[in-house]
Amino acid sequence: MMISTRGRYALRILVDLAENQGEGYITLREAAERQEISEKYLESIIKDLVRGGFVTGVRGKGGGYRLSRPADEICVMEVLQSAEGPLVPVACLEEGSAPCARASICRTLPLWEGLNRVVSEYLGGFTLQDLAKQAAEDLPVSD
């Protein structure tokens, strides 16, 4: 499994909004500069994040974007699934997929189910708040 640039950038922009949520609405320009992401590319990502219910936006002077829910309620797995689609290792584990005719005799199915469980539990164990907090702890202290 490889997370695309789109998924990584979606997560980065949401963590940026979490870190700066005390400043009110954040413009795309500000976030793009901080994250070193093309503002044009970020526009397409932010539209998906609005549709996914992760951010709300306000147009005009003083407008921008902010998280639609508290950062500790937005799970990394949820964000990546929204940006990437299903994060399952094999198609037969995708929700809503047709049952595999070989499932009862498949010797590799337990391996894929275990991998899927590990990935889901790991990514499901982090929130935007966790990532923002970690970033704050990693910052050098200025005197």
* C-beta separation of 80 from 3 below 8 A: yes
User: What pLDDT score was predicted for residue 60?
Assistant: 85
Examine residue 116 and state whether it is found in any structural domain, yes or no: yes
Q: Is residue 143 part of a domain?
A: no
How far is the C-alpha of 101 from the C-alpha of 81, rounded, in Å? 26
**Which pLDDT score is estimated for 142?**
44
Range of the domain at 34: 5-138
The answer as to whether 133 is a domain residue is: yes
What 3-state class would DSSP assign to 30? helix
Per-residue model confidence (pLDDT) at position 138: 66
**Domain presence at residue 39:** yes
25 in a domain, yes or no?
yes
Question: Does 69 reside within a domain?
Answer: yes
Which domain CATH number covers 73? 1.10.10.10
Instruction: Give the predicted TM-score (pTM) of the model.
Output: 0.86
Q: CA–CA separation, 6 vs 91, rounded Å? A: 21
Taking 70 as the pLDDT cut, the residues of the chain under it are 135-143
Q: CB of 85 within 8 A of CB of 45?
A: no
Query: Based on the structure, what is the number of domains in the chain?
Result: 1
3-class secondary-structure state, position 70: coil
Q: Is residue 96 in some structural domain?
A: yes
